[in-house]
Amino acid sequence: MIRRYFIAGTDTGVGKTSLTEALILAARDDGIDAIGLKPIETGCADGAEAEDARILAEASDAPALASFDGFYRAKAPLAPYGATLEGESAPPPLIALVAAISRAEAGRSMSLIEGAGGILVPYSREHTMADLVRLLDAELILVAADRLGTLSSTLTAVEAAAHRGIKPLAIVLSSVAESDLSARTNAQILRDLLPEQRIFTFPYAPAREERKQHAKKLLNALLGS
């Protein structure tokens, strides 16, 4: 049975793609047939391949996954529902998107699915990313940038997920290039306030190989859960 993880952010630009890429590389380096998928991506230039999807597909050694049939792409750098309101084609029904994801995963042993922005990003008027997590029956990895402001956004995301019957497998505080004073206490505060939640830090590393080595430690911890 496939191990399926959904990587969501507490916000946009928190390091989801870098972390997902590193986890794919770490898993494959350890002999796990893992792939990374970006089934929803907006802000795609006209006629160009989706950039985050390309990064994950290359890490998976499966370039075709970047433009897999049935995945949703939009030009406008907006939530899918926002792109729809701007006149772009509406995303497929969630059940159809889940079917496309399952086809892309066929024969693999691990799938790392990167969402679009935060857990409550509107997919449509009726649905959010949280609905996709539930339909996929995926383990949720919540990524937060380790900077000022992350405490409220992370606690809000955890509470919103819990309200929908989802408990994150882990929260990963992703270090940023220019850290601030809050990074000294963010992890400890979250551990104090969320004592039953597994919380990890992921060091900032501009080099891909270094990120992979950090991801190996995180992956081992997750697989041991």
The total of other beta-carbon atoms located within 10 Å of residue 192's CB is 9
Question: 3-223 sits in which CATH class?
Answer: alpha beta
Arithmetic mean of pLDDT, 126-150: 97
Confidence check: pLDDT of 167 > 80: yes
**Whether residue 212 lies in the annotated active site:** no
Arithmetic mean of pLDDT, 125-144: 98
pLDDT at 31: 96
Query: Structural domain boundaries of the chain?
Result: 3-223
pLDDT band at 80 (very low <50, low <70, confident <90, very high): very high
HSE-CB of 189 using CA atoms within 13 angstroms = 15
pLDDT at 225: 58
Catalytic residue selected from 16, 38, 212, 216: 38
Confidence check: pLDDT of 182 > 90: yes
pLDDT at 88: 96
pLDDT band at 13 (very low <50, low <70, confident <90, very high): confident
pLDDT at 46: 78
What lies within 8 Å, CB to CB, of 66 at 6+ separation is 38, 49, 50, 53, 54, 56, 57, 58
Confidence check: pLDDT of 83 > 90: yes
The total of other beta-carbon atoms located within 10 Å of residue 92's CB is 18
pLDDT band at 45 (very low <50, low <70, confident <90, very high): confident
The amino acid at 145:
A
Q: What are phi and psi of 47, to 5 degrees?
A: 80, -5
**Tokens 């701007």 sit at which residue?**
86
Question: Burial, 72: exposed, middle or buried (Cβ in 10 Å; 0-12, 13-18, 19+)?
Answer: buried
Q: Tell me the pLDDT of the chain averaged across its residues.
A: 95
pLDDT at 119: 94
